[in-house]
A and B are shown apart, each in its own frame.
Chain A
Amino acid sequence: MRLLLLFLFLAVLGPALSEYGLKLLSEALILGLYAMAFNLLFHQAGLLSFGQAAFFGIGAYTMALLVSRAGWPFLLTLPLALLASGLAAVLIGFLSLRLTRIYFTMLTLAFAQLLYAVAHKWYAFTGGDNGITDLRPHGVLGESLPFYYLVLASFALGVGFLALLERSPFGYALRGLRDNRARAEAVGIGGFRHLLLAFVLSGLLSGLAGALQGALQRSVFPEYLFWTRSAEAILATILGGSGVFLGPAVGAAAFLFLRVLVQSQTEYWPFFLGVVLLLTVLFFPKGLAGVGEEVVRRLKGVRGGVPQS
């Protein structure tokens, strides 16, 4: 219900925004969707993937190649982008999920970097580091407001789907596997099968985000597959708070807001991002959501006495 109100508010907000505001909010929603997809693996399944950029990039490149090489209309490329990133997630997930903890993290990183290296060098197919440019969608979607509504609809569908998933038996199974895999499997939950499905769903949504981002930027570069892009999902999630459902989306918005604010003042944005990240990790490990909870708790006049987990 609260989610529906949020989507409605964002829909009403659209016409009130300037071109620039629309572009920025579209980008925030895309990054939000991407971070929420990452958090399905991270929070629900307890898997730290450092290779989400693989699916983000495959989604973006599928869209870009179909639009620029085959002349497809942008909207028709979205199902294909989902399909391609989903297939890649089946393959990468099947191999990576045989490992756990840091080894899983490293293997996902290796696969994403492998794809980055291929996209970077395969000039004939991907355009190499020149990327694929001039990707403005034809017709009405080339304008900011309709495109914003497309992004909002994708965000709403993706996030709504994730919300249903969290409350479904599948969500409970994932959290069970996260908390104690041996016990969960002992009561008959197929660990590998559930984790692979979560991995694929997360990859699908990341691919959708990538395709939308490529259309928003009107270009796709190998950087879409680079590990710093994977780090962005982790960053937005921790900034917002991984333990709260909408935390990653809030973190994504805060991340972009901060970037615009700092970049208008100085070229040393990474430095500020580093400092904010450092302070978040050291002092606010629950992210903005944690800060929010604290504020609410203070306002209600409850002091201390809450056990820290």
Chain B
Amino acid sequence: MELGFYLLQLLTGLAYASTLFLLAVGLSLIFGAMGIVNFAHGSFYMLGAYLLYAFAQGQAQGFWQGLLLVGAAGVVIGALVERLFIRPIYRRPEEYQILLTYALLLILEDLVRFAFGAAYRSFPMPPAFANPLFVLGTPFPSYYLFLVGLAALVAFLLWAFLQRTRLGVWVRAATQDREMLEALGVNVPLLYTTVFAGGIALAALGGAALLPLQAATPGMAVDAVIQAFIVVVIGGLGSVWGALLGAVLIGLLQAFGILLLPEMAMVFPFALMALVLLLRPWGLLGRPPAVRT
């Protein structure tokens, strides 16, 4: 019983970590490759949840098609936003990028409130996950396992993409030296659009995947982006494995922190982030910034 309880708590933490990873990895890649601090990242996570609700018309049967549509919509929306708003400000100082994406956060939050209302929107559990799995006599929600599997799959595919494909090599090269990449004849603006669209699609998927567990509200974007920043800063800006490690640490910290010291559960992630920044500012798995002359 005791063991089963802790296992369940572990799985809960990992399931939360999975959606955090989907959210944070795009933020990390967008910063790494493009140097853009995307404060609107959580808004696309929120948008993903609402889009799943709309595409599936609130019906559990529509879950799978809905998830696919959310991914596709994320790519299109991400590409449009990059072209229209992000592209003009690449060479601006960071504060303008932060403000522009903050403006997008405000706009998207109100657009969703306008379209769906301020009330919570919840979504039923898809039929495939209606029954729990029994391990050691303890029922485990099978949807948690699906989330962990989804995140593991995405992490593997991203790794394969970055390490094994030409486009992936370019993305990694962009994190090192953009000018050189451009000089070698790579279409960097198109590469940026691709990275941004991919990151947004992953965030939207993450938000949609969380919907059967947690109702959507327009205010979830702000919480999400702060959590994502914590994950990315802990793991290391620009690193896929860093995002994964950060997400798992924060997920477990939440799941077990709330058991040990429920009052302080909210404080732990920020404390961990401050600690990592002080000891290893470039993150646990990040690379120290190269010295430029």
Contacts of A277 in B (CB 8 A): 99-100, 102-103, 106
Binds A, one of B60-68, B87-95, B121-129, B205-213: B87-95
Contacts of B282 in A (CB 8 A): 103
- Given the interface pairs A110-B270, A282-B100, the reply to whether A238 lies near B95 with Cβ below 8 Å is yes
Contacts of B278 in A (CB 8 A): 95, 98, 107
Contact: B95 with A275, CB < 8 Å? no
Could you mark each residue 59-91 of chain B with 1 if its beta carbon is under 8 Å from any beta carbon of chain A, else 0?
Answer: 000000000000000000000000001001100
Kindly name the residue among B100, B230, B267 whose own CB sees the greatest number of chain A CB atoms within 10 A. Answer: B267
Contact: A281 with B103, CB < 8 Å? yes
Contact: A275 with B226, CB < 8 Å? no
Interface check B8, CB cutoff 8 A: no
Interface check A189, CB cutoff 8 A: no
Interface check A298, CB cutoff 8 A: no
Nearest Cβ on chain A to B132's Cβ, whole angstroms: 32
Residue of B nearest to A113 (CB): B270
- Which chain A residues numbered 258 to 309 have a C-beta less than 8 Å away from chain B? 268, 270-271, 273-275, 277-278, 280-282, 285
Could you mark each residue 100-129 of chain B with 1 if its beta carbon is under 8 Å from any beta carbon of chain A, else 0?
Answer: 101111110111011000000000000000
Residue of A nearest to B278 (CB): A95
Q: Please, how many angstroms separate the alpha-carbon atoms of A118 and B271 in the complex?
A: 11
Contact: B229 with A106, CB < 8 Å? yes
Interface of A is mostly: helix
Contacts of B89 in A (CB 8 A): 281-282
Q: Please, how many angstroms separate the alpha-carbon atoms of A95 and B271 in the complex?
A: 13
Could you mark each residue 33-52 of chain B with 1 if its beta carbon is under 8 Å from any beta carbon of chain A, else 0?
Answer: 00001000000000000000
Interface check B273, CB cutoff 8 A: yes
A-B contacts, CB under 8 A, total: 108
Contacts of A122 in B (CB 8 A): 263
Contacts of A121 in B (CB 8 A): 263-264, 266-267
The tally of residues in A whose CB lies under 8 Å from a CB in B reads 40
Kindly name the residue among A122, A231, A281 whose own CB sees the greatest number of chain B CB atoms within 10 A. Answer: A281
Interface check B215, CB cutoff 8 A: no
Contact: A234 with B99, CB < 8 Å? yes
Residue of A nearest to B113 (CB): A268
Nearest Cβ on chain B to A126's Cβ, whole angstroms: 12
Contacts of A103 in B (CB 8 A): 277, 281-282
Using a CB–CB cutoff of 8 Å, the interface residues on chain B facing chain A are 37, 85, 88-89, 92, 94-96, 98-100, 102-107, 109-111, 113-114, 222, 226, 229-230, 233, 237, 263-264, 266-267, 270-271, 273-274, 277-278, 281-282
> Known pairs A103-B282, A121-B264, A274-B103. 10 more at Cβ < 8 A?
A48-B98, A102-B94, A107-B274, A117-B267, A231-B102, A234-B95, A274-B104, A277-B99, A278-B100, A285-B96
Task: Show 10 A/B contacts (Cβ-Cβ < 8 Å), sorted by A.
Answer: A110-B230, A111-B270, A121-B263, A122-B263, A228-B222, A274-B103, A278-B85, A278-B100, A280-B99, A285-B96
Using a CB–CB cutoff of 8 Å, the interface residues on chain A facing chain B are 42, 48, 50, 95, 98-99, 101-103, 105-107, 109-111, 113-114, 117-118, 120-122, 227-228, 231, 234-235, 238, 268, 270-271, 273-275, 277-278, 280-282, 285
